[in-house]
Amino acid sequence: MPIRKLTSCVSEVKGKKLCAKRRNKRGRGSGSRGGCVKLAGTVMHGKLEDGKRVVKGMRSFEEIPHTGRNGWLNLLKFWRENRFQQLHKHMERTFNTLGPIYREKLGTLSSVNIMLPSDVSELFKSEGLHPQRMTLQPWATHREIRNHSKGIFLKNGEEWRADRLQLNKEVMMSAAVKRFLPLLDEVAKDFFQMLQTRMEKEGRGEKGKCVLTIDPSPDLFRFALEASCHVLYGERIGLFSSSPSLESQKFIWAVERMLTTTPPLLYLPPRLLLRMGAPLWTQHATAWDHIFSHAEARIQRGYQRLSTSLDRASPAGTAGSQYTGVLGQLMEKGQLSLDLIKANITELMAGGVDTTAVPLQFALFELGRNPEVQESVRQQVRVSWAQAGGDPHKALQGAPLLKGTIKEVLRLYPVGITVQRYPVRDIVLQNYHIPAGTLVQACIYPMGRSEKVFEDPLRFDPSRWSREEGQRVEAAGFRSLAFGFGARQCVGRRIAESEMQLFLMHILLSFHLSVPSSEDLNTTVTLILQPETPPRITFSKL
């Protein structure tokens, strides 16, 4: 790949200091094993050798340790050994073997993988004004062949930035969070009521001391979909009733099928599979078709409600003094076309079910097998809830251990196991030259479980995040990356964080959690990390 000439953005004095640091580090050895941390930075001074800009003592891109040069043989090995489902473990083993940076080529996809916060920090410094992550080509191909507009998840450049700024106002800004928090709180309270009713019918023990042991995952998926619909469309869909909608259950199944079929399609040309009529592609496209059909029906209903509301001359942003949801807000303001609103609402819906329901499975499990942690979080929640007077925003602000619990769950069980960027300029990671435009993946599953990054990494300790806030930890902001970073972080982050914290708050206020087995959970990767078998949880009425 041709290397663009880079213009220094620092003074000559800083440049000399940087070069001096590099000379000092040369004597520390250039081996890549054992996790030795070496130079990370931007290539700013150097000379051209064989057409490439190098820094004295820096090693070439080709010298980065790798898992094999033939991408197709590597892909075949992945399929034979079922590594796609254990990709997180493969990454962890590879870092232990090759050190904190390695190259991997799978089919048509090549990447550099890193895991240390200092390297991740350097990567994000070079992401540019329009950060770009790996395009999920199967998703993009589906939009193209069905003539659907693309949402911000699949866009790049100025077009992405313009749409993202509009969406941020409705889902990321603090004013927006305060508007949708009561809706999420309402759904969380209703889930608690549903669970209590079920306990009275199915629980064991005397009245008032009932216990209920269940696999809560189906209920958690319904909770996540109900909460997402309430925030995005401003309406409830009744998933906690005795006979929930079959259509909504089909939507959940479609999302699961879409996630399962995505990873194998990342390494093969989707249009070739389309022409071949490959069953894998057919399943993937059919799943997306159902997701779009479900979202289209909800959006049409939302549009009709908004039209009726405007006919009645309601104040802007309200429908009879009621929050109209993200969809209503976007339609009223009219900054995005209806096609773009549909595209982004559909992406938010598809990305807002499994990505909150699955972490809640892990959260219930970890709190259940760590009773002392559970009690400390509960005590803080009780005090905060009593002082908040029913205000969910105040209740969450007064219970930082709830946020710490979510961060700790996502440290050990990140929904997505990597965060990707393409640096816009040449950088140096672990003393290796990384050309601009290279796909670099920050591998956050191995990072979250590494002794080089976290003290006692396998211990579930939500309070570690409160302690870190009072300490100066190197690259601390790059140790928690489950929602990504910066301008391209997860656009649904505030919804997901609030949804999970409110859910746990109401559960802990009313139930004690325990687990029949405290053995570690086996995990697998579809497009997201999830338990191979959902954990069973015992709920005991407090």
Beta-bridge partner residues of 178 = none
Rounded distance between C-alpha atoms, residue 262 and residue 350, angstroms: 13
Farthest-apart Cα atoms in the chain, separation: 80
Give the number of residues written for the chain: 542
Rounded CA gap, 137 and 266, in Å? 7
Write down the pLDDT at residue 69. 92
User: Are the C-beta atoms of 392 and 399 separated by less than 8 Å?
Assistant: no
Whether 52 has a pLDDT exceeding 60, the answer reads: no
| Residues paired with 95 in a beta bridge | none
pLDDT > 90: percent of the chain: 69
Task: Give the model's pLDDT for residue 474.
Answer: 59
What is the pLDDT confidence band of residue 298, given thresholds at 50, 70 and 90? confident
Per-residue confidence (pLDDT) for residue 246, from 0 to 100:
82
Q: What is the rounded CA–CA span in Å between residue 252 and residue 221? A: 7
pLDDT band of 2, cuts 50, 70, 90: very low
Q: pLDDT by residue (tens digit) across 169-188?
A: 999 999 999 999 999 999 99
Q: Which of 494, 500, 321, 320 is nearest to 405 (CA)?
A: 500
pLDDT at 308: 77
d(CA 116, CA 102): 12
Least confident of 18-22, 53-57, 154-158, 436-440: 18-22
Q: Structure tokens of 269?
A: 């040309």
Q: What is the mean pLDDT of residues 487-508?
A: 96
How far apart CA 453 and CA 458 sit, in angstroms, is 12
Q: Exposed e or buried b for every residue in 484-500, given b needs 16+ CB within 10 A?
A: bbeebebbbebbbbbbb
User: What is the CATH classification number for the domain harbouring 396?
Assistant: 1.10.630.10
Q: How confident is the model at residue 469 (pLDDT cuts 50, 70, 90)?
A: low
Q: What is the pLDDT of residue 529?
A: 96
**Residue 505, burial from CB neighbour count under 10 angstroms (0-12, 13-18, 19+):** buried
Task: Work out whether strand 211-214 and strand 537-541 pair parallel, antiparallel, or are unpaired.
Answer: antiparallel
When pLDDT is cut at 50, 70 and 90, the band that residue 208 belongs to is low
Q: Do 444 and 387 meet the contact criterion of CB atoms below 8 Å apart?
A: no
- What is the structure's pLDDT at 108? 87
Would you say residue 31 has pLDDT above 50? no
Contact between 258 and 292 (Cβ < 8 Å): no
Q: Could you tell me the pLDDT band of residue 475, with boundaries at 50, 70 and 90?
A: low
Is 490 annotated in some ligand binding site?
Answer: yes
Confidence of residue 512 (pLDDT cuts 50, 70, 90): very high
pTM, two decimals, is 0.86
Task: Please determine, for residue 414, whether its predicted confidence score (pLDDT) is greater than 80.
Answer: yes
Does residue 18 fall inside a structural domain? no
Number of structural domains the chain divides into: 1
CB atoms within 10 A of CB 83: 17
Between vectors from CA 94 to CA 269 and to CA 30, what angle results, nearest 5°? Answer: 115
Q: Using DSSP, state whether 518 is helix, strand or coil.
A: coil
Which of 159-163, 227-231, 267-271 is the least confident region?
Answer: 267-271
What's the whole-number average pLDDT of the chain? 86
The reply to whether 241 falls in a domain is yes
Residue 204 clears pLDDT 50, i.e. is over it: yes
Per-residue pLDDT at 33: 36
Q: Are strands 440-443 and 109-114 parallel, antiparallel or unpaired?
A: parallel
Q: In whole angstroms, give the CA distance from residue 67 to residue 69.
A: 7
Cα–Cα–Cα angle for 340, 327, 318, rounded to 5 degrees: 140
Of 389, 373, 361, 394, which is closest to residue 502 (Cα–Cα)?
A: 394
Asked whether 405 and 466 are in contact (CB, 8 A), the reply is no
Query: Is a pLDDT exceeding 60 seen at residue 36?
Result: no
Domain that holds residue 514: 119-310+323-541
| Helix (H), strand (E), coil (C) string for 211-255 | EEEECCHHHHHHHHHHHHHHHHHCCCCCCCCCCCCHHHHHHHHHH
The rounded distance, in Å, linking the Cα atoms of 104 and 119 is 17
Say whether 462 sits in a helix, a strand or coil.
coil
Question: How crowded is residue 474: how many other Cβ atoms within 10 Å of its Cβ?
Answer: 12
Between CA 380 and CA 505, with CA 466 as vertex, the angle to 5 degrees is 35
List the Cα angle 104/106/109 in 5-degree steps.
90
Q: Is the pLDDT of residue 249 over 90?
A: no
Rounded distance, CA 231 to CA 236, Å?
Answer: 9
Eight-class DSSP state of 204: B
Torsion of CA 511, 514, 516, 518, to 10 degrees: 150
Cα–Cα dist 165/465, whole Å: 29
Regarding predicted confidence, which is higher, 23 or 468? 468
pLDDT tens for 59-94 read 999 999 999 999 999 999 998 988 889 999 999 999
pLDDT band of residue 18 (cuts 50, 70, 90) is: very low
Interval 32-46 mean pLDDT: 46
pLDDT above 70 for 149: yes
Reduced to 3 states, what is the DSSP secondary structure of residue 207? coil
Lowest mean pLDDT of 87-91, 179-183, 329-333, 375-379, name the range: 329-333
